Amino acid sequence: MRTVKWNGGLLDRIPGWKKVFVVSESRFQLHVITDGKRQSQELYDIVEAAVRGGADVIQLRYKSAPALDLYRLAEAIRPAIRGAGAGLLINDRVDVALATGAEGVHLAAKSLPIAATRPLMQGDQWIGCSVHSVEEAVKAEQVGASYITYGHIFATNSKPGLPPRGVDALRRVVDAVNIPVLAIGGITMENIDEVLATGVAGIAVIGAVMADLEPERAARELRQRMDASHHRPKKALPLAKALSDQHGRSEIVQ
């Protein structure tokens, strides 16, 4: 068997060569979560800018929306996300995630339980959930979460008045589980380095990209800082399928 590194181009068209994507085990992910209340521009424009800037995943989060509205929004932003080789997650609504062929669903505190959701999803679809303690993290892993999000790490407009949990607590969660952990809550260019040092799989942000008047630049700065970090995820999230083409490291196996 012959193996060569592949970074895109024509090699995969050579007859007899089978392209095998190797998930970039060392890449930190940038998840951008939508929030209609903290949105600097039209949703579509921000999403397009965020994925151009290097967001790996857009999570469509619109808690009060009826299924039809969420479905239509997902359909509207999907081409830009796919076109950039990024992934789409739907917050809370498993039905909308299935109907739109999204990469998965992010389950919130009042969503369906993971155990009830898992049988509904395709094998490679992600089920993420938010946790707020080591105990919840371990439980989520046991019942089949693909990844968890721990927060809020720093003070955030989303949780006014609530004390942040901090990076030491984040590190304890990362150490306690063997699934990817995303950090969330108040993460910016000012504090991202200390977050990456914990071994997280990446970061999830609202304000740092959604509320920025230049969302593409904002996403690109976070992306570049993650790529330049000398820290690495303890357990990385797989890249959305098409993303391997765009940014990931790949191998060709003959």
Ligand X SMILES: Cc1nc(C(=O)O)sc1CCOP(=O)(O)O
Ligand Y SMILES: Cc1ncc(COP(=O)(O)OP(=O)(O)O)c(N)n1
Which residues of the chain form contacts with ligand X (CB under 6 A)? Answer: 130, 151-152, 156-159, 184-187, 205-208
DSSP letters of 210-233?
HT-SSHHHHHHHHHHHHHH-S---
54 has binding-site annotation: no
Copy the structure tokens of residue 109.
Answer: 């505190």
**Which tokens go with 46?**
């921000």
Kindly write out the interface string for residues 108-147 of this chain, putting x where it contacts ligand Y by CB under 6 A and - elsewhere: xx------------------x-x-----------------
Which residue lies nearer to ligand X by CB, 34 or 117?
34
* 124-127 LR contacts (CB < 8 Å, sep 24+): 124/241, 125/97, 126/89, 126/237
244 annotated to a ligand binding site = no
Q: Among ligand Y, ligand X, none, what does residue 182 contact (CB within 5–8 Å per kind)?
A: ligand Y
b/e string for 206-215 if b means 16 or more Cβ within 10 A?
A: bbbbbbbeeb
Q: Which of residues 194-253 bind ligand Y (CB under 6 A)?
A: 204
196 contacts 226 by C-beta, under 8 angstroms: yes
12 marked as part of a ligand binding site = no
The Cα–Cα gap between 231 and 228 comes to 9
**59 assigned binding-site residue:** yes
Stretch that binds ligand Y, among 106-114, 172-180, 211-219, 227-235 (CB under 6 A): 106-114
State the binding partner of 65 from ligand X, ligand Y, none, CB within 5 to 8 A by kind. none
Q: Is 61 near ligand Y (CB under 6 A)?
A: yes
